[in-house]
Amino acid sequence: MTSTNTAKGTRDFAGVELWKRNYLFGEIKAVFLKYGFEPLETPAMENIETLTGKYGEEGDQLLFRVLRSGDFLQGLDDAGLRKEKLRTIRQAIVDKGLRYDLTIPFARFVARYHAELPMPYKRYQIQPVWRADRPAKGRYREFYQCDADVAGSTSLLLDSEFIPMVDEVFGRLSLPPSIFKINNRKILAGIGESLSGHYSLESLTASIDKLDKIGMEGVRSELINRGFSNDDVERIGQFMAIDGNNAEKMHRLAQMLPSGSLGQTGLVELNEVLSYLSNCPLDNTQVQVDFSLARGLNYYTGTIYEVVLKGIDMGSVASGGRYDNLTEGFGVKNLPGVGLSFGAERLYDVMENLGLFPQGVGRHCQLLVINLDEKLNPVYLGLVQSLRKQGVATEIYPAKVKIGKQMKYAEKKGIPYALIAGEPEFEQGKYQLKNLETGHQEAFDLPTLIHQLTA
């Protein structure tokens, strides 16, 4: 007897939970389409070379690897089959891996077809990804990502457009007001350049990225631990202390960075991105320049963003940025891009916690025809088919069991109406329609009944 468990960290989705997930994905998708993004779907499995080395050492560890088909030991001899040769063996017996994110498959796709695609190429992708992470609350081994990216353009107008797009998505989902934090990687590099010591940009950004969580004191001690001099830590503290509105922050930073430096370029870019929004009122979103925003992934080279919901302790619910060399690893240069990813699993949790999913979401079936007499099955089926042809999603209970049990079935499925008819009703052409929420019951002829249900 086989266990009915799903594989660790993976989930079945059904019933109301799946309706809600599909509603969430559907709203995001509708906005993606409205902004001119086209769908892309890539295979769940990629050749292992497509994936390895793309996500750092940790990512390589977390890849799910698929065994070669057939004689998977083919490339090895008994001498090579030793326990200490784990990595060599793995390399020999594995030829595919499961999709780890949606960015690398997108890059592979664009590198492959860039000559034929409409350029700039705007695609969205809503598909599951797999990571061999330790499962925990809110962390799964199979989860969905919702990405929108534009490849093939340096225009910062594209960077701007993600801001009203997020505003519209979150508005449609009735989410609380959001803070759209924005920064530019070149500004971070500029801050790094303005220090007297030479440090890796990664160690700088990794530290200041934690400002929200550990405060400036925490960042200070982390920087000291990473070998930053006291003077430089002091200077970084001055950058992080810049406050005011967006214009004031940018003005202040411009004064602090050497003219003609990379940091100034970053400021010009950031200013351009924000300037495009001047005619573009946002309903629910506050755009906030944040020089401590760093984003972990190192492929970003320009604009970076991260969106949080006010008063919701959930971390970022959308994030993204601009990159210069999306497809370089696949041998195609000069294809810059910019993209944003919604944290779909987190958004689901927020909406669930706040009760934001619409009542009756996904309720499709409208009517259950109660089975009073199995001899009437052909008549029931005829009736059900007429209703379906008129667009009424209808079910017939397939056997004559107690009416209460049939009503219970309708209730469990969220079917709002029941039709009750036996031989006399069919003869008269009048059917009892029961509203299962209010309990109200009334007899209608078929056209009126259909009108009731489709109005």
Residue number, 132 or 195, with CB nearest to a copy of itself: 132
Residue 345 near residue 144, CB atoms below 8 Å? yes
The CA distance from 154 to 158, in Å, is 8
Residue 97 near residue 51, CB atoms below 8 Å? yes
Buried b (16+ CB within 10 A) or exposed e, 237-258: eebbebeeebeebbebbeeebe
Residue 224 near residue 230, CB atoms below 8 Å? yes
Cα 250 to chain centroid distance, Å, stands at 31
- 10 Å Cβ neighbour count for 114? 17
Residues in the chain: 455
Residue number, 33 or 241, with CB nearest to a copy of itself: 33
Type and span of the H or E element at 340: strand 337-342
Segment 105-108 long-range contacts (CB within 8 Å, at least 24 positions apart): 105/42, 105/43, 105/46, 105/50, 106/40, 106/42, 106/147, 106/149, 106/151, 106/326, 107/326, 107/327, 107/329, 107/330, 108/42, 108/46, 108/50, 108/330
For the bound state, the minimum distance from the C-beta of residue 68 to a copy of itself, rounded and expressed in Å, comes to: 9
For the bound state, the minimum distance from the C-beta of residue 154 to a copy of itself, rounded and expressed in Å, comes to: 8
End-to-end alpha carbon distance in the chain = 50
For the bound state, the minimum distance from the C-beta of residue 357 to a copy of itself, rounded and expressed in Å, comes to: 16
Residue number, 50 or 341, with CB nearest to a copy of itself: 50
Written as six digits, the tokens of 351 are 């909406």
Residue number, 14 or 136, with CB nearest to a copy of itself: 14
For the bound state, the minimum distance from the C-beta of residue 383 to a copy of itself, rounded and expressed in Å, comes to: 8
- 10 Å Cβ neighbour count for 116? 8
For the bound state, the minimum distance from the C-beta of residue 249 to a copy of itself, rounded and expressed in Å, comes to: 20
Cα 209 to chain centroid distance, Å, stands at 22
Residue number, 85 or 252, with CB nearest to a copy of itself: 85
3-class secondary-structure state, position 344 = helix
For the bound state, the minimum distance from the C-beta of residue 297 to a copy of itself, rounded and expressed in Å, comes to: 18
Residue 175 near residue 150, CB atoms below 8 Å? no
For the bound state, the minimum distance from the C-beta of residue 336 to a copy of itself, rounded and expressed in Å, comes to: 12
For the bound state, the minimum distance from the C-beta of residue 148 to a copy of itself, rounded and expressed in Å, comes to: 13
Residue number, 219 or 449, with CB nearest to a copy of itself: 449
For the bound state, the minimum distance from the C-beta of residue 250 to a copy of itself, rounded and expressed in Å, comes to: 17
Residue number, 127 or 194, with CB nearest to a copy of itself: 127
Written as six digits, the tokens of 438 are 């209010």
Residue number, 239 or 380, with CB nearest to a copy of itself: 380
Residue number, 135 or 447, with CB nearest to a copy of itself: 135
The CA angle 432-438-441, to the nearest 5 degrees, is: 15
